[in-house]
Amino acid sequence: MAALGLTYARLCAGLKPARVCYGLVGCRTGLLMHLTRSLSGMTIEQIDEEVAKLLQLKAQIGDDGGKHVFVLKTAKGTRDYNPKQMAIREKVFNTIINCFKRHGAETIDTPVFELKETLTGKYGEDSKLIYDLKDQGGELLSLRYDLTVPFARYLAMNKITNIKRYHIAKVYRRDNPAMTRGRYREFYQCDFDIAGQYDPMIPDAECLRIVHEILSELELGDFRIKVNDRRILDGMFAVCGVPDDKFRTICSSVDKLDKMPWEEVKNEIVKEKGLPEEVADQIGEYVNMQAGGMALAEQLLQDPKLAKSKAACAGLTDIKLLFSFLELFKVTDKVVFDLSLARGLDYYTGVIYEAILTQAGVAPAPAPTPSPQEANGAAGDDGPVSVGSVAGGGRYDGLVGMFDPKGRKVPCVGVSIGIERIFSIMEQKAELSAEKVRTTETQVMVASAQKNLLEERLKLTSELWDAGVKAEVMYKRNPKLLSQLQHCEDTGIPLVAILGEQELKDGVVKLRTVATREEMDVSRADLVEEIRKRTSQS
């Protein structure tokens, strides 16, 4: 990915004068936009940065249009996927999509940008990470930040009250990229959500079963799924004496427990967030409880303090119900009820969950869960964590109502698979593995051992395509047999159909197995069947 310099002069060689002129205008606008922006709350650093950028531009233009260094790169925080990465990506997507389909999900798609207003007020402080489009006349637009808000907009707009859908697409965040750790500004989300008014915890349990299925099938090593409930957290904070307006900020402190010891979290609660030490200690008693299953929920229901909170009791009763379903679904081996799980809570209203990989060494350096439901969660964190979060989600019963003109609610629960980190793990595994990743599916190469057989090669290739066989032919009049065979070795094509004068006379093709170098004559009439037979096992 080395950045290459390219002289501006060369690049402009094919341009009309109008284009160059446009560049100058753009620069002048930028200068004025700088002045503008300084009025709307820029920091000193930002202004310095802008000035540097403008001076750089000015220098380039002053230089009589020459020597502009064109940097050959992708935008910051983004990457291309090469064919090998795409092959891995396709495999991961197939596993995930198969699982979603096994659970009867439909799929939808929404545009990459939404009206700016649609995203407004949904992400709290993280709104600053939203990419806005330039106002070129017309509507004010922003790139989608997740798939959940567009989903809620879609439901409200089309008055849909019942749907089980998945959506796999890219989302955009102007975050500090950490690409070696799988954190990008453009990244995929794989979301599965169930919308509708149903009996308690049945769809919620299915979401957890889906996480279990996907992580098991992808063979990423051992994992654990932590579960908690927004109502339990709220109730717990209330009975510990946290003022209502501090629930949110204390949540985000508690959320750090998987990255730092309790003492540090407590310090933050007391010194930064200004709560009395005894309140922090009471919170500590709960969040430091050993994670458990249904028994822990039972135990907490007996807790005289928590019993005072209706919200906590409702949450605990539902956790018990959830675990009874999870037992039927045979996934309790991996699921734990963990009071310290807080996640981003902007639109969560009930159960929340997060899956982490527990096997050291498999997971790459940590990256945030790119969950559509994470809101203010892990996305902004930069600190080291011991395990990797690879899925997350929860119940959000109020979001659709924010879009409905009459405020009609559509209860929703969903899960997002943190696919970028999974890609990273799979890529690492592929690199360590001896097995070569194929980037094509070609079954046979049509080759010739002698010269002047291009037409015969093309004719045979055409016949194979007609029969649905995946076949390649070299785009050379007289390629060497060796280079044709080498191409098969390089790309993993298992068979070569070799034509020669003698074969043409005999109405046969020499079919060669690349791995064993065995060759045998096959009649033209039997060729397709023979290729199918030999490639069906692989």
Site for a copy of itself in 146-185 (CB under 8 A): 153-154, 156-158, 163, 165, 170, 172, 174
- In the list 17, 62, 64, 71, the residue contacting a copy of itself (rule: CB under 8 A) is 71
- In the list 203, 350, 370, 494, the residue contacting a copy of itself (rule: CB under 8 A) is 203
- In the list 17, 62, 138, 361, the residue contacting a copy of itself (rule: CB under 8 A) is 138
202 counts as binding a copy of itself under rule CB under 8 A: yes
Site string for a copy of itself, 208-227 (x = CB under 8 A): -x---x--------------
Q: Whose Cβ is closer to a copy of itself: residue 19's or residue 271's?
A: 19
530 counts as binding a copy of itself under rule CB under 8 A: no
66 counts as binding a copy of itself under rule CB under 8 A: no
Q: Whose Cβ is closer to a copy of itself: residue 133's or residue 515's?
A: 133
80 counts as binding a copy of itself under rule CB under 8 A: yes
Smallest distance, Å, CB 36 to a copy of itself? 4
Nearest CA among 453, 343, 316, 375 for reference residue 152? 375
Q: Whose Cβ is closer to a copy of itself: residue 172's or residue 237's?
A: 172
528 counts as binding a copy of itself under rule CB under 8 A: no
Per CB under 8 A, which of residues 6..35 are in contact with a copy of itself? 6-7, 10-12, 14-16, 18-19, 22-23, 25-26, 28-30, 32-33, 35
Which residues touch 314 (CB under 8 Å, ≥6 apart)? Answer: 231
Q: What are phi and psi of 453, to 5 degrees?
A: -120, 20
User: Could you give the CA distance from residue 410 to residue 439 in angstroms, rounded to a whole number?
Assistant: 43
- Residue 351 gets which letter from DSSP? E
- H or E segment to which residue 327 belongs: helix 310-328
Judging by beta carbons within 10 Å of its beta carbon (0-12, 13-18, 19+), is residue 131 exposed, middle or buried? Answer: middle
Q: Whose Cβ is closer to a copy of itself: residue 1's or residue 525's?
A: 1
Judging by beta carbons within 10 Å of its beta carbon (0-12, 13-18, 19+), is residue 191 exposed, middle or buried? Answer: buried
134 counts as binding a copy of itself under rule CB under 8 A: yes
469 counts as binding a copy of itself under rule CB under 8 A: yes
Contact yes or no for 144/114 (Cβ under 8 A): yes
Count the Cβ atoms, other than its own, within 10 Å of residue 318: 20
Q: Whose Cβ is closer to a copy of itself: residue 180's or residue 216's?
A: 216
72 counts as binding a copy of itself under rule CB under 8 A: yes
330 counts as binding a copy of itself under rule CB under 8 A: yes
310 counts as binding a copy of itself under rule CB under 8 A: no
Smallest distance, Å, CB 267 to a copy of itself? 26
3-state secondary structure 353-407: EEEEECCCCCCCCCCCCCCCCCCCCHHHCCCCCCCEEEEEEEECCCHHHHHCCCC
480 counts as binding a copy of itself under rule CB under 8 A: no
Contact yes or no for 515/482 (Cβ under 8 A): no
Q: Per the structure block, which two tokens stand in for 12? A: 């402009």
Nearest CA among 484, 227, 264, 450 for reference residue 342? 227
94 counts as binding a copy of itself under rule CB under 8 A: no
